[in-house]
Amino acid sequence: MTNVFGSCPIPGSQHDRVLLGHGSGGRLTAELIQNLFVPGFGNDVLARLEDQAIVGLALPAASGGMRNESTNVAAHGPRIAFTTDSYVIRPLFFPGGDIGSLAVNGTVNDLAVGGAIPLFLSAAFILEEGLPLEDLQRIVASMRAACDAAGVALVTGDTKVVDRGKGDNLFITTSGIGIVPDHQPVMSIGFARPGDAVLVSGTVGDHGVAIMSAREGIEFETVLKSDMAPLTELVQAMLGACPEIRCMRDPTRGGLASTLNELAAASQVGVTVDETAIPIRREVHAACELLGLDPLYVANEGKLVAVVPAADADRVLDVMREQPLGRNAAQIGRVVDEHQGIVVLRSLIGGERVVMMRSGEQLPRIC
> What average pLDDT does the segment 204-232 reach?
88
pLDDT tens digits along 241-274: 999 999 999 999 889 999 999 999 999 999 999 9
Mean pLDDT of the chain: 88
User: Does the structure show a pLDDT above 50 at 339?
Assistant: yes
Residue 75 pLDDT greater than 60, yes or no = no
Percent of the chain at pLDDT exceeding 70: 87
Q: pLDDT at position 77, please?
A: 64
What type of residue sits at position 315? R
Residue 172 confidence (pLDDT): 98
Tell me what pLDDT residue 20 has.
Answer: 75
Cα Dmax for the chain = 66
Q: Tabulate helix, strand, coil % of the chain (nearest 5).
A: 35, 25, 40
Mean per-residue pLDDT for 158-177?
95
pLDDT tens for 103-154 read: 999 999 999 999 999 999 999 999 999 999 999 999 999 999 999 999 999 9
Query: CA separation (Å) from 234 to 112, 137, 150, 279, 306?
Result: 9, 30, 12, 18, 12
E runs forming strands in the chain: 2-3, 6-7, 53-56, 67-68, 73-74, 79-87, 93-94, 97-98, 117-128, 153-162, 170-180, 197-200, 247-249, 270-274, 305-308, 330-336, 343-346, 352-355
156: β partners: 122
Q: How large is the average pLDDT for residues 38-54?
A: 84
Instruction: Give the model's pLDDT for residue 193.
Output: 98
pLDDT digits (tens, 9 = 90+) for 47-57: 787 889 999 98
Give the single-character DSSP code of 362: S
Confidence (pLDDT) at 2 = 34
Percentage with pLDDT > 90 across the chain = 68
pLDDT of residue 341: 96
* Residue 303, amino acid: K
Nearest alpha-carbon partner for 226 in 201, 252, 260, 199: 252
pLDDT given for residue 59 in this prediction: 58
Checking if the pLDDT of 166 tops 60, the result is yes
- The predicted structure's pLDDT at residue 364: 62
Query: Residue 165 in 3-state DSSP?
Result: coil
**Residue 238 in this model has a pLDDT that exceeds 60:** yes
Kindly tell me if the per-residue pLDDT of 361 is higher than 50: yes
Cα angle 106, 109, 113 (rounded to 5 degrees) comes to: 145
The domains located in the chain, with CATH, are 17-180 (3.30.1330.10), 197-355 (3.90.650.10)
Q: How confident is the model at residue 6 (pLDDT cuts 50, 70, 90)?
A: very low
What pLDDT score does 41 carry? Answer: 86
Decide: pTM greater than 0.95.
Answer: no
**What pLDDT was estimated at residue 311?**
98
Which stretch, 109-113, 179-183, 221-225, has highest mean pLDDT? 109-113
Examine the pLDDT at 362 and tell me if it is beyond 50. yes
Across the beta sheet with 67-68, the strand order is 67-68, 73-74, 53-56, 79-87, 170-180, 117-128, 153-162
Q: What are the C-alpha distances in Å from 219 to residues 99, 283, 329?
A: 21, 11, 27
DSSP tag of 134: H
If DSSP states are collapsed to H, E and C, what string results for 228-246?
Answer: CCCCHHHHHHHHHHCCCCC
Q: How confident is the model at residue 28 (pLDDT cuts 50, 70, 90)?
A: confident
Give the pLDDT confidence score for residue 49 in this predicted structure. 75
Q: How confident is the model at residue 64 (pLDDT cuts 50, 70, 90)?
A: very low
Predicted pLDDT of residue 120: 98
pLDDT score at 65: 44
- Computed on alpha carbons and rounded to an integer, the radius of gyration of the chain in Å comes to 20
Q: What pLDDT is recorded for position 35?
A: 82
Please name every residue paired with 73 in a beta bridge, in sequence order, or none if there are none.
68
Residue 17 CA to its chain's centroid (Å) = 25
Range name among 65-74, 182-191, 278-287 with the lowest pLDDT average = 65-74
Residue 70 has pLDDT above 60, yes or no: no
Q: What is the pLDDT of residue 359?
A: 66
